[in-house]
Amino acid sequence: MQEKSGLKTQKIKSSIINGSALGLLLISTVIAILSLIPLYNRLKNNKEKQLIFESQNSVSIINNLIDEYLDKSLKISQKPGIGRTINAEVLTDISPQALENTREMWQDLLGDYLTGIAYINEQKTVILAVGQSIPIEFLNKHKISTVTGDIIGPFEIDNIPHILIEKHGTFNGSHLFLFNLSHLRQKIRQKATFYHSNYLELAILNNHELKPILIDYNQPNQVISALSQQTDILEIIKRNYQRGNQTGGLWCNSCDAFIAYSPIRNLEASLILGEKKRQLYSPVYRQILLLSGTMMLFIMVGTACLVVIIRPLTNQISQEIWERHKAEAELIKEKNFTQTLLEANPAFFIVLDVEGKVKFMNPSMLNTLGYKQEEVEGMNYSATFVPKEEGKSAPWVFELMINRRLPIRTEETMITKDDREIIVEWYGRAVFNKETDEYEYFVGAGLDITDRKRADEELQLLQQITHAVSIAVDFDSALAVALDLLCQTTSWEFGEAWIPNPEQTHLEYSLVSYQEKPDFAGFYEQSKKFLLGVNDGLAGRVWAGQEPEWDRDISEESQANFSRYSLIKQYGFKAGLGVPILADNRVLAVLVFLMSMPREQDNRLVKLVSSVAMQLGSVFQRKQAEEKYRDIFENALEGIFQIDLQGKYISANPALAQILGYDSQQQLLVRGSQIKNVYADPETYNRFINLLQTRGSVSNFEAQVYRRDGEAIWIWQNARAIYSDRHNRVLYYEGSIMEITHLKETEAKLRHSASHDSLTDLWNRAFFLDKLDDSIRKCKTLDNYQFAILFLDLDGFQFINDSLGHAIGDQLLIEVSKRLTDSVDSHILARLGGDEFTILLENIRDIQEAIDVAERIQESLKLPIFLEKNQIFTGASIGIVEGNSNYQSSPEVLRDADTAMYRAKRQGKGCYVVFDSTMRTNALRRLYLQTQLRLALQEQQFELNYQPIIELSTGTIAGFEALLRWDHPQEGLISPAEFIPIAEEAGLIVDIGEWVLRQACFQLSEWKEKFAVYSNLMMSVNLSSQQFTNDLSRRISKILVETGVAGSELKLEITETAIMNDPELAIATLQQLKQQQIKICIDDFGTGYCSLGYLHKFPVDILKIDRSFVSQIPEGEDKREIVRVIVALAESLKMDAIAEGIETAEQLHHLQNFKCKYGQGYFFFRPLNCQAVEALLNHDQRGLPLPAQF
């Protein structure tokens, strides 16, 4: 039995071996034959293309030769000779000597295939000829141009090809040059690569006569001779030439040859190459035969090798069959284990096919979604289980389809069968076929995180509401904030509050509410009329029980003891929630929330609202405490003290004890008995005492002292010595202390704000310009000092800002500033504004350092920036300026850098350009405007516009600011921002400023006379720093006398920079102006470097808040804080505050809350001319009301 089995196995093995060998032999032979057929055709096509390519090369050789002949003809025709003689003489009277001289010269030029030269007139009469003659019949047959010149040919003379080149030499004749082309065949054969074949034939087809020429008469020329009789093929070649086809090839069946042709444009002819089929393809036949033999040899050897290889492999067949059965049993076992694991796992598991359809869901996922396995199979996952919401990210399976190599982790909202939404955290990946490298299906594992997410959202909401109500100014504001946030985030349509009356007899309707729909306004108004008693409706029951209550449907309640039942029914309210606000075990208010559909009780929501109510109770208690002690805090502003001559406290008030951190003044007197003990610096104390002893008084002495707990604070001290009447001896010292820590912090903020950009915290324009001016001065005074600046403008920023929003634009600027900081090392980096940045490189070796920085910056900006799931690419156009001693001011350098930057931007994104003098077109403009400004002053081209200044508390006009305008005769209105700096540079600003002041005062005097009701109008006039001179007071006094305006009616606006240039001069000048009762206003306060110490000394009446701070008010609390601090600073220094640039109702609202007294801006009025102002004043003689938004 075993022998039979072995014999059978042996027969099977032999059959496998013989069948495999025979099959391989047959398959290999068929494959070889099939592969040789396209190879044969490809080799044939290559030969045809090679012949066509050779025709192109030959044409190139002919064209080069023709160009050489043309060049030679041109040179001969331009030499002195018969042509010029004919020009100079009458045609019938030609000098014989001139003809002889020209003939001899031409005779010497013959040779090198130039066989003849002739000169003919317009009547084709030969004036002079040398060498081979041109037949008369040829001249008559072919038209000769005497204007432009031409190439005639090719043509044959005595079976030798020639061309005739005609060159126009004069106004009444032409040169003719006859060239022999018999050497052309040899030249082509020498330079061409295809002419190794002895059977290749060549000819030129003259398209006019359809006659082949340049035939090689030493060759058989069987193809060309036969082709000359094929007029249809010749016509095809001619038409291709006329249509502009460059090259071509075709079969001539009667010639049994392949014809290649290419046009010769200079000759209006075509070059023809032809070769018989058997000669053309003979290399192909040899290659195919050799390749066939080689392939058969490899097939035979491969078959033999297969027989040798397959013999031992058959011995493994039975073993492999047994192992396969064993592996299949293991797979079944593993599949059962995996199935059990998936069914018992509480996590989700899903398998999707390549189209995103469900193949499998585990029981945990099916139970949560409410489906059965047979229901979900074949369902489209995205269409069935993922809600379609705008702004949501794509389903995880879509992300895998895009980035299929990377696993993905994401959170996704899913819809259950009963339309509930759950949140699932998915971990997904694509499964690939290892052989095809294509994905076969997608697998995902997920966790239901709905409860966790909701808990996080509720905690976040609670924190948000807690923060909002904690900073509310009063209890009603806290109620309003809580109602708004709770209703908006928990889907209640209406929110209200009921407040117990002082006698605790009934509930009264609060003025705060939340209304999702405008229709609820009527419900709100009618509810105000109700007074709810104990247990009256939902609010009354919550008041009585002091516990939250949830009603699924209020309309199903009994009408008894429900006074608002009809009103509730009228507006369709159903579900309701009432929550008490408690403090000290009594109800402060009841919050009621309503919606127009029934809603099942949500205990989590009840707990959340109760937590908010608890916070509101804490807010109420805190506000009560603040009101109780407010009077004490407000009155204890300054600390008062008395010390003896040794510095020991004699007495102190509670405010001083509080400032220094003591519980009472008695504690201060006992434990802090020596004033010197509180000073942080002993030298400061010694200086304070020395001033008291030497001067007898000290004013606004600034010092840092320690509180009892060790905290350092800043104070202002005013002190004086008290003397005895009899001996004029110092008895003791007394004084006051004011804590100015917040003022110092404000000063630090203002100083920082004055030199730093508020968005990026980089240096700002003012600081950068100061540093740049320093570098310019060093360049003029120091040897070998060199600097450079880089001016950057982001590419495509406006598009990003407009498409993704200003918030993304601001984040982009912040990220770019970080990269710039990393790229510029210790150099000065500033943001000028918008998307413009500048870099100052000081003390550099050469301009290459600046170029290196520019290249580093551009390299750093190539990397993408990721902002809120947006991948953003940006770059910068950079202008570079090398500093030199010719620059006088920083604006000049910036001007040139800006010019270079725009040149770079025009060259394309991400470029840099180094400035050179050819770019200084702006300099010409400035020079032009300087000249025009002088004429404008002489010819009265200036005019004034007036912007009303509004008293924000009353809405009336308090005055006007005079604004200078220049109406140029040719250019129209020119911006003050353009011509005022030029006027300052040219030294014209003093005269212009005096003209403005005089005109403004005249106008004010005229208006006060016309409009008696506006007797308190003020006129504000801006002063340039150049006007701030010793005789300023005298000149202004003269103008006031001329115009009849009182000093108290004039307000002068001066920048911080102007007065800080020379503080001592400023103080003296301002005091002189104050003696005339002129009001002094610090313009653009907060953008300069004015310290609080100097500000206290200056006799200033008004601080004008710069428009940059006003515009940032809506951006956040930190922006508003700066404005609030400036207003508070002005109030503490007994000054008024005026805000410029008010453009929105929101800005106005905040300024009113800050108690800012005055304001101006486009929200009220744009600058007006005189006629518009008078119409405005005529409109309401009782005072102008503010717009409706006010």
Encode pLDDT of 109-156 as tens digits: 887 778 888 888 777 778 888 888 777 666 665 555 544 457 777 777
Q: Give the C-alpha separation, 500 to 508, whole Å.
A: 6
Question: Virtual CA dihedral for 1077, 1081, 1082, 1083, nearest 10 degrees?
Answer: -150
User: Is the pLDDT confidence value at 2 over 90?
Assistant: no
Domain count, the chain: 6
| Closest to 71 in 3D by CA, of 191, 154, 172, 179 | 179
**1085 — pLDDT class (breaks 50, 70, 90):** confident
Amino acid identity at 591: L
Q: Do 488 and 610 belong together in one domain?
A: yes
**842 — pLDDT class (breaks 50, 70, 90):** very high
Instruction: Name the residue with higher pLDDT: 382 or 810.
Output: 810
User: Is the pLDDT confidence value at 241 over 80?
Assistant: no
Q: Give the C-alpha separation, 829 to 740, whole Å.
A: 33
Q: Give the C-alpha separation, 54 to 356, whole Å.
A: 58
Q: Do 279 and 177 belong together in one domain?
A: yes
Phi-psi map region of 268: left, alpha, beta (phi>0 left; psi -120 to 50 alpha) = left
Considering the domain boundaries, does residue 325 fall inside one? no
Burial 890-907 (b: 16+ CB within 10 A, else e): bbbbbbbbbbbbbbbbee
User: Is the pLDDT confidence value at 481 over 60?
Assistant: yes
Q: Do 654 and 775 belong together in one domain?
A: no
Q: What is the mean predicted confidence (pLDDT) over 599-615? A: 86
Q: Give the C-alpha separation, 966 to 988, whole Å.
A: 14
**71 — pLDDT class (breaks 50, 70, 90):** confident
Question: Virtual CA dihedral for 538, 543, 545, 549, nearest 10 degrees?
Answer: 30
Amino acid identity at 732: Y
**93-97, 175-179, 508-512: least confident range:** 93-97
Q: Give the C-alpha separation, 310 to 297, whole Å.
A: 20
For residue 815, the model assigns a pLDDT of 94
Q: Give the C-alpha separation, 895 to 302, whole Å.
A: 81
For residue 1094, the model assigns a pLDDT of 65
H or E stretch covering 120: strand 114-121
- Can you read off the two tokens belonging to residue 743? 């003022």
Q: Give the C-alpha separation, 307 to 302, whole Å.
A: 9
Considering the domain boundaries, does residue 3 fall inside one? no
Q: Give the C-alpha separation, 408 to 438, whole Å.
A: 18
Q: Do 904 and 963 belong together in one domain?
A: no
Q: What is the mean predicted confidence (pLDDT) over 856-869? A: 90
For residue 301, the model assigns a pLDDT of 75
Q: Which of 448, 470, 497 is the last residue of a domain?
A: 448
For residue 154, the model assigns a pLDDT of 78
According to DSSP, residue 554 is labeled G
**672 — pLDDT class (breaks 50, 70, 90):** low
For residue 630, the model assigns a pLDDT of 47
Instruction: Report the CATH number at residue 701.
Output: 3.30.450.20
For residue 105, the model assigns a pLDDT of 83
Question: Virtual CA dihedral for 1074, 1079, 1080, 1084, nearest 10 degrees?
Answer: 180
For residue 324, the model assigns a pLDDT of 66
The residues with which 361 forms a beta bridge, in sequence order, are 350
User: Is the pLDDT confidence value at 959 over 90?
Assistant: yes
Q: Give the C-alpha separation, 193 to 62, whole Å.
A: 15
H or E stretch covering 154: strand 150-157
Instruction: Name the residue with higher pLDDT: 77 or 326.
Output: 77
**211-215, 489-493, 736-740: least confident range:** 211-215
Q: What is the mean predicted confidence (pLDDT) over 711-719? A: 90
Q: Give the C-alpha separation, 10 to 169, whole Å.
A: 101
User: Is the pLDDT confidence value at 89 over 50?
Assistant: no
Q: Do 683 and 653 belong together in one domain?
A: yes
Q: Do 944 and 909 belong together in one domain?
A: no
Instruction: Report the CATH number at residue 1064.
Output: 3.20.20.450
Q: Do 852 and 952 belong together in one domain?
A: no
Instruction: Report the CATH number at residue 544.
Output: 3.30.450.40
Would you say 125 and 116 are in contact if contact means Cβ atoms under 8 Å apart? no
Instruction: Report the CATH number at residue 898.
Output: 3.30.70.270
The residues with which 719 forms a beta bridge, in sequence order, are 698, 735
| Closest to 183 in 3D by CA, of 6, 282, 61, 279 | 61
Global confidence as pTM:
0.33
- Can you read off the two tokens belonging to residue 929? 């405007």
- Angle, helix 989-1010 to helix 976-986, in steps of 10 degrees: 130
Instruction: Name the residue with higher pLDDT: 277 or 664.
Output: 664
Q: Do 356 and 285 belong together in one domain?
A: no
**629 — pLDDT class (breaks 50, 70, 90):** very low
- Classify the C-alpha dihedral 117-119-122-127 as positive or negative: negative
Phi-psi map region of 215: left, alpha, beta (phi>0 left; psi -120 to 50 alpha) = beta
Cis previous bond, 154, omega within 30: yes
**440-449, 1101-1110, 1147-1156: least confident range:** 440-449
pLDDT digits (tens, 9 = 90+) for 73-83: 888 877 765 55
| Closest to 258 in 3D by CA, of 289, 284, 291 | 284
Domain of residue 843, residue span: 747-919
**1173 — pLDDT class (breaks 50, 70, 90):** very high
- Can you read off the two tokens belonging to residue 653? 């008030």
Q: Do 734 and 760 belong together in one domain?
A: no
User: Is the pLDDT confidence value at 375 over 70?
Assistant: yes
Counting every residue, how long is the chain?
Answer: 1190
Question: What percentage of the chain exceeds 70 in pLDDT?
Answer: 84
- Can you read off the two tokens belonging to residue 804? 């993704």
pLDDT digits (tens, 9 = 90+) for 38-65: 877 787 788 777 778 777 788 778 888 8
Q: Give the C-alpha separation, 1156 to 1150, whole Å.
A: 9
Q: Give the C-alpha separation, 382 to 394, whole Å.
A: 9
Considering the domain boundaries, does residue 313 fall inside one? no
Q: Give the C-alpha separation, 571 to 809, whole Å.
A: 45
pLDDT digits (tens, 9 = 90+) for 765-791: 989 999 999 999 999 999 889 999 999
Instruction: Name the residue with higher pLDDT: 410 or 1169.
Output: 1169
Q: Which of 448, 483, 514 is the last residue of a domain?
A: 448
Instruction: Name the residue with higher pLDDT: 449 or 1040.
Output: 1040
Q: Do 617 and 487 belong together in one domain?
A: yes
For residue 86, the model assigns a pLDDT of 47
**90-104, 539-553, 650-664, 942-956: least confident range:** 90-104
Long-range CB pairs of 34-41 (<8 Å, 24+ gap) are 36/288, 36/291, 36/292, 36/295, 39/288, 39/291, 40/284, 40/288
Considering the domain boundaries, does residue 311 fall inside one? no
For residue 240, the model assigns a pLDDT of 75
pLDDT digits (tens, 9 = 90+) for 1014-1049: 888 999 999 988 888 888 899 999 999 999 999 999
Considering the domain boundaries, does residue 1184 fall inside one? no
| CB neighbourhood size of 634 (10 A) | 8
Q: Is 507 helix (H, G, I), strand (E, B) or coil?
A: strand
Phi-psi map region of 59: left, alpha, beta (phi>0 left; psi -120 to 50 alpha) = alpha
For the chain, what is the radius of gyration of the CA atoms?
Answer: 51
Q: Are strands 531-532 and 549-551 parallel, antiparallel or unpaired?
A: unpaired
Amino acid identity at 78: Q
**Phi, psi for 734 (deg, rounded to 5):** -135, 155
Considering the domain boundaries, does residue 1173 fall inside one? yes
Would you say 1106 and 1086 are in contact if contact means Cβ atoms under 8 Å apart? yes
Q: Do 1025 and 1121 belong together in one domain?
A: yes
* Largest Cα span, the chain: 151
User: Is the pLDDT confidence value at 951 over 90?
Assistant: yes
For residue 1124, the model assigns a pLDDT of 92
For residue 171, the model assigns a pLDDT of 47
For residue 11, the model assigns a pLDDT of 59
Average per-residue pLDDT for the chain: 82
**Phi, psi for 547 (deg, rounded to 5):** -135, 150
**316-325, 671-680, 690-699, 1143-1152: least confident range:** 316-325
Q: Which of 448, 473, 508 is the last residue of a domain?
A: 448
Q: Is 674 helix (H, G, I), strand (E, B) or coil?
A: strand
H or E stretch covering 1115: none
**292-306, 560-574, 718-732, 994-1008: least confident range:** 292-306
CA triplet 714, 716, 717: central angle to 5 degrees? 130
Q: Is 23 helix (H, G, I), strand (E, B) or coil?
A: helix
pLDDT digits (tens, 9 = 90+) for 504-514: 899 999 988 99
pLDDT digits (tens, 9 = 90+) for 354-369: 888 888 888 888 888 8
Would you say 717 and 734 are in contact if contact means Cβ atoms under 8 Å apart? no
- Can you read off the two tokens belonging to residue 220? 């058989």
Q: What is the mean predicted confidence (pLDDT) over 885-893? A: 90
- Can you read off the two tokens belonging to residue 281? 């393809």
Phi-psi map region of 992: left, alpha, beta (phi>0 left; psi -120 to 50 alpha) = alpha
Q: What is the mean predicted confidence (pLDDT) over 986-1013? A: 92
Question: What percentage of the chain exceeds 90 in pLDDT?
Answer: 27
Q: Do 716 and 755 belong together in one domain?
A: no
For residue 56, the model assigns a pLDDT of 76
Considering the domain boundaries, does residue 13 fall inside one? no
Considering the domain boundaries, does residue 852 fall inside one? yes
Q: What is the mean predicted confidence (pLDDT) over 1064-1089? A: 85
- Winning range, highest mean pLDDT, from 135-139, 757-761, 1092-1096: 757-761
